Structures are given as C-alpha cells and as structure tokens.
Structure 1
Amino acid sequence: MTDKITVSALQLALGGGVEENIANVTELVREAAGKGAEVVLPPELFEGPYFCREEDEALFAGARPTADHPSVRAMQALAEELSIWIPTSFFEADGPHHYNSLAWIAPGGRIAGVYRKSHIPDGPGYEEKFYFRPGNTGFKVWKGPGERHMGVGICWDQWYPETARAMMLLGAEILFYPTAIGSEPHDPTLDTSRMWRRAMIGHAVSNVVPVVAANRIGEECGQHFYGHSFICDERGDIVEEFGATETGVLTASFDIARVRQHRAAFGFFRDRRPELYGRLAQDL
C-alpha cells in the first residue's frame, strides 16, 4: 500500500512588475497542477524583483497585511480553483512591523497559517535586516495532502540544520524552501549554488526526508539569480533539477509510508541525545 504525495517546485525569472510576476507564477502553478502536483512551491518574494539589494525606505510601500497581499490573494484563488496547496512567500505588514512571511494556502483558498522567516541575512545584495524583523512565529508545520505534515523554511533558514530538525520534530514529512539567491556582490567570483544545494541535501540525509527547493533566475539590476532549483528524496538523491537558466516546473512523487520506514531504519531519531544538546541553545 502506498501513501503517495506529488509535489512541484517552480523556477522562473521574476524581474517584472507585480501583475506580470503573479501572472507568470500562475501559469506555472497551473502547469504543475496539470502534472498532478498537490503542493506547488513558488520562489521567495515572487511578487516583484528581489528588492532587498539595497536600503530604500520607499520599498516598504510594497508590504501588505496577509489577507490584502496581491500574491496571497492570487494564490488563494488558484488553490480554490485547482484544489491544491500553495506555500506563498510575501512581504508582510503587521501594524508597524514588517516580515518576510509565508502563507500556507490550502485547497479552497483557506489560509491555514503564516510563518515568518526566522533567520534574516544582512550583507551586500541581501540587506534584509533593513526590511524585516526576525520572525516571531517559531517554526511551523502544516497539514497537507492526506493529512501529512509539511514544513517550510524561507531562504536563509535553509542554511541552518536547526531549522530542518525543528520542523522534523514537529512532524514534518517533506521540507520546502522557497528562495531568492544568486551572485554575491562582495565577491563576484563566489558561486554558492553548489553549497546551497549541499546544505539542503544534508538536511534530507540527516533527517531522512525529501526536500523541495525553488529559486528564481535571471538578472535584476546587476544581480544574477542562479536557479538550480531541485527536488531530492529522503536519501539525498536528486530526483528532479534545473540548471541556472531553465524556466518551468519540477515534479516528483514520494511514498510517505516508505519514507517513514527508511527514517525509522536509520535510527537518527531513535539515537538522539537531547540531554546533551543544551549548548545548542546557548548564545555564548
């Protein structure tokens, strides 16, 4: 007996305006649903160009409350029409506060919850601390297809093994990472695309869990986004992938019952020693 879940990751250029970008994402979401995807992951902050390259107070005007954000509203309509789940990244305004957030949108268009990005980067080309407060939701796991639980981290979260392990301990059975990452302005010779993949593949292996990663591509105001979106299985083997330029949909199916058996057999969670890990929670 199988317990199959089919998931997709989208890869595309997102250098246009809000309406154009949402229309392009919508087209790929429809394509993914047509391939049988039950959960479809667009890239991070897909409503427009990646605006965190520099500090510009005028860009705060693009933030909206969850229920009013154009990306969220568009994906709600699609989720209702197509009966799928769409983890939707967006720039959230909550009173005077601003977050890099994700709405877990369920079939019917219902917002099942919101996760606010926990780890906020700050550096040349990625000035996110100017725009976003650190998330205050804690890590989140939501019910997806077949009542199975899905975990989502946002971009910089993907570098932290603590993020993946925390979601696993909350019951996650697939991990999703929407991303906006590319060239490093401080060092044009540094290509982090291989490191980026290895970090998430490491989460897959050490937690025995499939991982789905969606990144943008293309040039935006002198910054290059390198794509390389992928889906890997619970053993870290890549089952679907793009390179640096392809636009499209990656789709894969996983038998969650089999994945659970593999996880139990490896014994990583059986052999954990939480009483020895206190140092991990000390900021010294």
Structure 2
Amino acid sequence: MRTLIAGAAAPLSRSHASQRPPLRVGLIQHRWRPDAAELARVLRDGIDRAAGEGATAVFLPEITLLRYPADTPAGPNPGAGAEDLTGGPTFALAAEAARANGIFVHASLYEKAPAADGLGFNTAILVSPSGELVGRTRKMHIPISAGYYEDTYFRPGPPGDAYPVYAPEGLGARIGMPTCWDEWFPEVARSYSLGGAEIVVYPTAIGSEPVFPDLDTQPLWQQVIVANGISSGLFMVVPNRTGNEGALSFYGSSFISDPYGRVLVQAPRDEEAVLVADLDLDQRRDWLELFPFLLTRRPDSYGGLTAAVDAQRPYGEGHQATAVVK
C-alpha cells in the first residue's frame, strides 16, 4: 500500500494571520477482499500508517467492509448484508483502530433499518479516540442507473436528518459526512457550508459504466467535487475504492482538495494507498473573504430549486423526459 503525504499548501489570499495549526488528516483507498479478516487487516494497517504519519482523523471508503452490492439489482431480501449501527463489524473496526491510535476514524456501513421493503441506510460514522460514536450521517441521494442500482438496497436519509455538521472535541474542525452520489449535487456542498462545515468527506464507491465501457467518468467526478469545494469554500476529502467487483471496476483516484480548488494529494487509479495531508483550515475564511459567495447569495430568487421534482419534466421546462439508462 503506497503512502503519499502533502504538507499544507501556501495561503493565497491571507488578509490576517491564522492562529490555527494545520490539521493533518488521512484517507485509505482499498481493494475489497472476500476474506473478511484479511480485509480488516489491510484497512487497519492503512489506518495505523496514517496515524503513524500524524493524522488526527482517518477516512475510509463507502460501505467499507462490504463488496459493493448494487452492481446488480437486489433480490427479495436486500438488507441481508446490513448491520447494526454500533453493534456490527464496521463500528468495531473503527472503534478499535481509533482507541489504539488515539485518533478519529470515519467509516461507512450498510445500516439496518427494519421495514417492510427490506431496505437499509447507507451510513457514514465518525468514531472518537475513545471509541465513541460522535457522528452519523445517512446518504441522502440514491443512484438508480445501470451498475449502481442502489435504490434497490438503500432508502434515502430522512430530510429532517439531512446535512449535519459535527465539531467533536479534540478534532479542531467542523466536518460534514455525506456519501458518494451526494457529491454530485451542489446543493449538498452549499448546505454543509452554510452549516459551518470546513471539511466535507465523501466516502465513495465509483468506477466504470457497464453500459458504456469506453466512458471514463473519473475526470468529471473529480472536477465536480473540486468545483463544489470552490463555490462553497470547503476542503473535500474523497476516499474511493479500487479494483474489480462484479460488473464494476472502481477507479480509485482518491484525493483531498482545498477551497481554492487545489488537489493537495491524490491516489493512483489502480493501487491501494494511504493519503495524508495538512489542512490550513483558515483558507476557507481567506477564500470566502476574497470571493464572498455566501454573503452575496440571493435565496429570495431560488424558489424553483426547492420545488418538488416533476417526473414529467426532470430536465426542466421544454425538455422531454427520457428513461434512465438501466
């Protein structure tokens, strides 16, 4: 597993001195393994490596311990692979690694949510250095297209529980934890920014398009996340997985970017990696003082953005509705 480290990038528009030391964070890019014990050892080794390099918090990819299930539609019992929020193997791994290293550990799991439809939640968690759950966020936007049939496995997080921002004691930062498909929506990044987040973490499982094997979405994926970080003044931490799983080949490329749109450190497409970067968190303040997007918003003009989705006109007025590629 390769380790890549980036120091704090130079401030570009600092108007007054920062009194905050850089926050060192890490992420793990991993390949799934059917042997659960082996997979846990690989992830623990990555966490230990990042902590050994001084990371205060380490972030793991989407549904960390599971083979990605949604490359095919679910059967009659979609939640068979789901686990209890704090009583399953994902929390156990994160809590043990957090306590052993004295750091925060973030992970992602398929959370049980008993209901007649059998669906669960796609949930990100943050565990403190003492092994306590200090953050939990459920994926809000659920993909429905070929190779990513997540609507047959996951139910969306409830609106009343959307976009929480956490500032746990000892972290020294305000953090949001949406998941994967959420990263494509500018409304998500803006909601976290308005909630005071400085860092947004997107545990991710993204790769090939089975119907269009020559289409590489990696550049688009990275560009939209970086752009959302620019427009909302956020550091973006994006741990993806790599390797082949069923119908999908995940393209890795995990990265950490800053509010100026600089990619501070990036993993390769096809190798497991540990990324570590120092974040100068007051660069959020610096950038939004220079380009005050949040101050000059016009929410009184955005009514159309909050109207219910019209399935007959999802692409807007004057555009015929077409079927999603399945």
Question: TM-score over 0.5 for the alignment?
Answer: yes
Equivalent residue, structure 2, for 1:52: 70
Matched AA of 2:176: G
1:146 Cα deviation (Å)? 4.4
Distance 1:68 1:114 in 2: 14
Please say if 1:133 is aligned against 2:135. Answer: no
User: Does the CA-based 8 Å contact 2:208-2:248 persist in structure 1?
Assistant: yes
Distance 2:245 2:232 in 1: 35
Q: 1:80-113, CA deviations, whole angstroms, 9 ceiling, x for partnerless residues?
A: 2212112210000023251111112122111113
User: Does the CA-based 8 Å contact 1:104-1:142 persist in structure 2?
Assistant: no
Matched AA of 1:98: G
Matched AA of 1:10: I
Q: Let me know the Cα RMSD of the aligned residues.
A: 1.5
Please say if 1:40 is aligned against 2:58. Answer: yes
Please say if 1:98 is aligned against 2:139. Answer: no
1:60 Cα deviation (Å)? 2.4
- TM-score, length-scaled by structure 2: 0.83
Matched AA of 2:79: F
Distance 2:64 2:86 in 1: 17
The correspondence for 1:162, drawn from 171, 177, 187, is 187
Matched AA of 1:75: A
User: Does the CA-based 8 Å contact 2:193-2:233 persist in structure 1?
Assistant: no
1:51 Cα deviation (Å)? 1.1
User: Does the CA-based 8 Å contact 2:165-2:174 persist in structure 1?
Assistant: yes
SS for the counterpart of 1:224 is: strand
Equivalent residue, structure 1, for 2:86: 67
1:253 Cα deviation (Å)? 0.7
User: Does the CA-based 8 Å contact 1:22-1:71 persist in structure 2?
Assistant: no
Distance 1:146 1:13 in 2: 28
Equivalent residue, structure 1, for 2:20: 2
- Greater alpha carbon shift after TM alignment, 127-136 vs 77-86: 77-86
The size of the alignment, in residue pairs, is 284
Please say if 1:275 is aligned against 2:294. Answer: no
More strand by share: 1
Q: Rate the CA distance shift 1:51–1:15 in 2: closer, same or farther, 3 A.
A: farther
Distance 2:199 2:102 in 1: 19
Equivalent residue, structure 1, for 2:274: 249
User: Does the CA-based 8 Å contact 1:8-1:37 persist in structure 2?
Assistant: yes
Matched AA of 1:141: V
- TM-score, length-scaled by structure 1: 0.95
Matched AA of 1:38: T
SS for the counterpart of 1:13 is: coil
Sequence identity of aligned pairs in percent?
A: 33
1:228 Cα deviation (Å)? 0.7
Alignment gaps of 5+ in structure 2: 1-18, 311-326
Alignment gaps of 5+ in structure 1: none
Structure 2 matches for 1:1-284, cutoff 5 A?
1-54=19-72, 55-57=74-76, 60-96=79-115, 97-136=119-158, 137-144=161-168, 145-283=170-308, 284=310
1:18 Cα deviation (Å)? 3.0
Distance 2:47 2:191 in 1: 29
- Greater alpha carbon shift after TM alignment, 53-62 vs 264-273: 53-62
Distance 2:304 2:109 in 1: 34
Instruction: Give the greater-gyration-radius structure (CA).
Output: 2
User: Does the CA-based 8 Å contact 2:60-2:107 persist in structure 1?
Assistant: yes
